[in-house]
Chains A and B, each alone.
Chain A
Amino acid sequence: MMKLSRRTFTGLVGFAGAASAFGLSACATGPKVVVVGGGFGGATAAKYVKRYLPGANVVLIDAAKTHFTCPFSNTVIGGMNSMAFIERSFDALANKYGITVVTDMVTAIDPVTKVVKTKGGISFGYDKLVVSPGVDLKWGALEGYDEAAAELMPHAWKAGPQTALLRKQLEAMPNGGTVMISAPGNPFRCPPGPYERASLIAYYLKTQKPKSKLIILDAKDAFAKDKLFKEGWEKMYDNIIEWVPAAKNGKVVKVDAKAGVLETDFDKFKPAVANVIPPQSAGAIALSTGLADKSGFCPVDPNTFESTLHKDIFVIGDACTAGEMPKSGYSASSQAKVAAGAIAAMVMGDKPAAMSAINTCYSLLAPDYGISVSGVYSVQDGKIANIKGAGGVSPSGANYQFRKKEADFAGGWYASICQDTWG
């Protein structure tokens, strides 16, 4: 069932006075820009297309009425915040920016006739299309792990009911239970995410269930900010967290969710709570539209994020392959601005500006212990690359005040990026 926002309703009844008071500019004469997906990438793209091209008719389509952010979802899993804390509304996009927000699922995109179709039976023609569907989980890529298994062993890698389910399981677990996290191989959404999650679950265990343990079974031998995570774990969670790399038989190869068992090549484990983060691909709509290559992600022009496979479609965020930029909310938001700038330039008959983007990812190891990684990106030799000498991770061996400051900045970052994206 398709639902239109109040903004659209105002437009439909044709109450022009009210519409103009809201700055509505949904005109047949303006360029039609459709955005698929209301996460960090899509919502930012919709807002910034409007900022750069106020006359554009921008439609944002998302299957859900609100968006639960993956950033800070680990604080919900660790018991520090509620689900409401990570829930974002699309209302400001509609009411403040005049974006037409549609709650419906996009089922097909025709890149030739330039039409987007929804489950609700509506067709949207576009001049430029932004596709920002995030990732989908590759069901079955890890033997035994499908949608039914995820109800028993949550992935919680798309925030929402899965986040609440994992939290509920941790609350129900007795003191002395073992939690296991199965971390995937690269590439995947939010490279430091599994390790932040391990930290915040360990914080909960340490303070509420101190006889418990947490084991990370990893398909890799190294991970984002690993030196800094290990330093913090040694300080705070030495008797709680154990990380098992692939080289030490850490890779989970099979799951039996009903029996509660995780299998590696040589061992079987039966933890009290299992969090299985499976391999991922670009969101389903990107795959069915033929926007992905054999990697399962979408190749794009590094200067504009326009698909190299279909003209006038821009793929941003976790779904695209963006050189050295990691799959993060900040990357998606920064890429959205590059794409919005390119769309505006193309519509105006200008040459898109030089690509310039940032990523900053904070991870919390405890409520008062934060670390960060950042990068500043440009196109170098035809690829998106970090600018030499810029970016990098927080210093090793920093004092309590430094880590506390970065934890405070993590919260500040979250408040600001949510405002920049949906507010």
Chain B
Amino acid sequence: MRHFLPFILLLTSLPLVAQQITFTATVDRNNIAVGEQVKLTITLTNGQGGFTHPNLGGLEVLAGPMESSSMNIINGRMSTSVSRTFILTATRPGDYTIGPAETRVGNNVIQTDPIRIKAEKGSGAPTDRQLDQAQQANRDLFVTLNLSREKVYVGEQVVATYTLYSRHANIEITEQKVPALTGFWAEEVDLGRNTWDDGLKVVNGLQYRTATLKRQVLFPQRAGRMRIEPVTLALVVNRNAFNPFWSGSRLDIKSNAVELQVLELPTGQPAGFSGGVGDLQLGVRTDRTTVPANEAITVKVKVSGRSNLKLLEAPRLDLPTDMDTYEPKVTDRITVNASGMSGEREFEYLVIPRHEGLYQLPPVTFSYFDTKSGSYRTLRSDSLRIEVTRGTGGGVAGAPQDPAVQRSDVRALGQDIRYIRTGDLKLRPRGEFLYGSGAYYVGLAAPAFIFLILLGWRRKQLREAADGPGQRRRRAERVARQRLHAASAALKNSDRTAFHDALAKALEGYFADRFNLGPAQVTDERVRQELSAIANGELADAFIRLKREAEMARFAPVAAAPSQALYDEAATLIQRIETSDR
């Protein structure tokens, strides 16, 4: 049993491989101009039975479905394939979605992916007036020149289409003279093979076959009324290959001329205007946000949309000054078709940061003229954060980092005024100054004034201090009074010795002070001499007597009682001398 198992597996696997089912829907292109055709192909491989047709989402079927099927047996493996083809067209501009087609496999339903088709307003058909004019010249064969728009801004694209209308079956174009376009930058639309269009066009009751001879996307370069001269064709019609004697008839035909009104772009161009006119988007991305110093970062600025993309100038990258960059590499993915020029232009900048740090690149701005709103628009990317890590250094690997190698002078980039002063502006009332005010003069004069007062006082004090005898005389009474006071205290204590002692000192001291004498100079003669001038010597006698009494009492062995009378007499005496000597 064991060696049967691989054999059975092999048998069962054979049909499995053969019946690998695929179910796809494809179109030959996703963007069309109105009136252009798109081919839809739905293919079912190894399916059983049929499939339902998708919802075409408003697209019109020009032809189809055309079915083809095939069967292959390769190395014993059989595969079948059924495909149906539709030729579709859009009658109006817009976004169309072709829904999923379905097929049944066993109990499952397989669907194709929906397909989006974008139809843009194309060059359109020529106007009736143009057709009438062209038809009048030659009813059987004529060429029209048609512009997609009649009024554009400088730089805005306009599609010029040359269409041949013919009732002859057999035509050979021998010469085609296209006038030189001045004031335009032109981009040719690749038409592929020159063939008749499908279907017939009816103009004023006559049926024509049509063919697009030439299609150009024009970008006017200056404002004003611009005239596009007619195209001239030389043809041979109805040549019969089987009749060598009939070489056909030669014809020269001329298309109509058209005029285009080109408007000047309004004034007030933003700084860094790219020259773009149309409808654009901006995308900015970097390949990495962390980079070692001295290694390159790629910053890709992608501008996409419908515009004169090939004429766009590179937006300026506002880089920190210690980052280097070079001229950007420009990559175009631009299609030029009946609806004009669209696609994207990518500017690839190589940015090399020289020093480590965290950098915030300012947003990339891109200004263009928006034809829809008729105004300038500025697109702004997000700002980019780039972290530059320490590089390996530009020198030899492993060499010590020598700071002197990379040193350079400080680069001056510009000059501008500094920033305003903030914080405390030290405001002061306008027009008020300390100098010249009353307060100032008072402030100056006050110290001088105070000094003068101090000076006067000090002078007086010094003068008095220098006058010694006078001072002593003035103090004499006060000192004597103090001594008498001591005597009076002794009297109260009945201290005999102290009383007489104080009394004698008071009298002698007073006299010495009063007449500026030394203690030894207080003699009777002196007293008499000094005091005789006062009250006829009576005071002198009284003084000498009192002095003797006090001295005797001091030194007498027999104690005389302290006498109040003696004290009173001394006090009165001093008082009298003092008052009489005025």
A, B: real partners: no
